[in-house]
Amino acid sequence: DIQLTQSPSSLSASVGDRVTITCRATQGIDYYLAWYLQKPGKAPNLLIYAASTLQSGVPSRFSGSGSGTEFTLTISSLQPEDFATYYCQQLKSFPFTFGPGTKVDVK
């Protein structure tokens, strides 16, 4: 299985901050990387697919980059509704796997 690690595992930030989360894969996955946001008690919500393509309806303050084994999710200016847990997922090969998550909370 392809394992994903995320760093940091958690971070504290303020509204307006720039936030960067990194996801690393144990094998090359080309661009088969998605990012999700999840709030407590809710299903994950797709933010970015193909490593850098913004899902329809997702604000442009979210961006993704990377390929191969290292990927980044950036929130350019954190908004109140962005406090949540973020997961990366590889969809290159079965079984599809998720990173352990990065919790973003209020500083």
Binds other proteins (CB under 8 A): choice among 24, 61, 92, 103: 92
Would you count residue 49 as binding other proteins (CB under 8 A)? yes
Looking at beta carbons only, is 62 or 87 nearer to other proteins?
87
Would you count residue 100 as binding other proteins (CB under 8 A)? yes
Looking at beta carbons only, is 13 or 46 nearer to other proteins?
46
Q: Given its phi and psi angles, is residue 67 left (phi above 0), alpha (psi -120 to 50 degrees) or beta? A: beta
Q: How many CA atoms lie within 13 A of 47 on its CB side?
A: 26
Looking at beta carbons only, is 34 or 104 nearer to other proteins?
34
Where does 39-84 show beta strands of DSSP type E?
A: 45-49, 53-54, 62-67, 70-75
Binds other proteins (CB under 8 A): choice among 13, 17, 22, 50: 50
Rounded least distance, CB 96 to other proteins, Å: 4
Q: In what order do the strands lie in the sheet with 19-25?
A: 4-7, 19-25, 70-75, 62-67
**Contact footprint for other proteins (CB under 8 A):** 1, 31-32, 34, 36, 42-46, 48-50, 55, 87, 89, 91-92, 94-101
